[in-house]
Amino acid sequence: MILYPAIDILGGKAVRLLQGEYDQETAYDDDPVDAARRWADGGGQYIHVVDLDGAKAGEPKNLETIRRITETIDVPIEVGGGLRDLAAVTAVLEAGAERVVIGTAAIRDPEFLDAVIAQHGPAKVVVSVDARGGQVSLAGWTESSGVDVADAVAGLTRRGAVRFLFTPIEVDGMMTGPNLPELSRVAAATDASVIASGGVGSLGHLRQLAAEAPKNVEGVIVGKALYEGRFTVPEALEALGAQATDE
Calpha distance 163→194 (Å, rounded) = 6
The answer on pLDDT for 172 being more than 90 is: no
* Predicted pLDDT of residue 247: 38
Rg (CA), the chain: 16
* Ordered alpha helix ranges (H), 75-144: 86-94, 104-108, 110-120
CB 53 within 8 A of CB 11: yes
**Known active-site residue 8:** yes
* Predicted pLDDT of residue 246: 42
Mean pLDDT of the chain: 91
Higher pLDDT, 130 or 172: 130
**Backbone φ, ψ for residue 135 (5° rounding):** -115, 145
Strand, helix or coil for residue 157: helix
pLDDT bucket at 245, cuts 50 / 70 / 90: very low
Strands 21-29 and 13-18: antiparallel
CATH no. for 2-240: 3.20.20.70
Strand, helix or coil for residue 122: helix
pLDDT bucket at 217, cuts 50 / 70 / 90: very high
Distance in angstroms between the alpha carbons of the first and the last residue of the chain:
18
* Predicted pLDDT of residue 34: 95
CB 43 within 8 A of CB 13: no
**DSSP annotation of 74:** S
Amino acid present at 53: D
Segment 192-205, tens digit of pLDDT: 999 999 999 999 99
From 51, 53, 130, 172, active-site residue: 130
The answer on pLDDT for 46 being more than 70 is: yes
From 8, 51, 53, 172, active-site residue: 8
Rounded average pLDDT over 112-118: 96
Calpha distance 70→59 (Å, rounded) = 19
* Predicted pLDDT of residue 171: 84
Domain boundaries defined on the chain: 2-240
The answer on pLDDT for 70 being more than 70 is: yes
Segment 14-24, tens digit of pLDDT: 986 655 555 55
Rounded average pLDDT over 154-176: 91
CB 131 within 8 A of CB 149: yes
Dihedral of CA 9/12/15/17: which sign? negative
Strand, helix or coil for residue 137: strand
Tell me the angle at which helices 149-158 and 180-188 cross, rounded to the nearest 10 degrees.
30
* Predicted pLDDT of residue 137: 81
Measured CA to CA in angstroms, residue 49 lies from 133, 154, 199, 227 at distances of 25, 25, 17, 14
* Predicted pLDDT of residue 144: 64
* Predicted pLDDT of residue 28: 84
* Predicted pLDDT of residue 100: 98
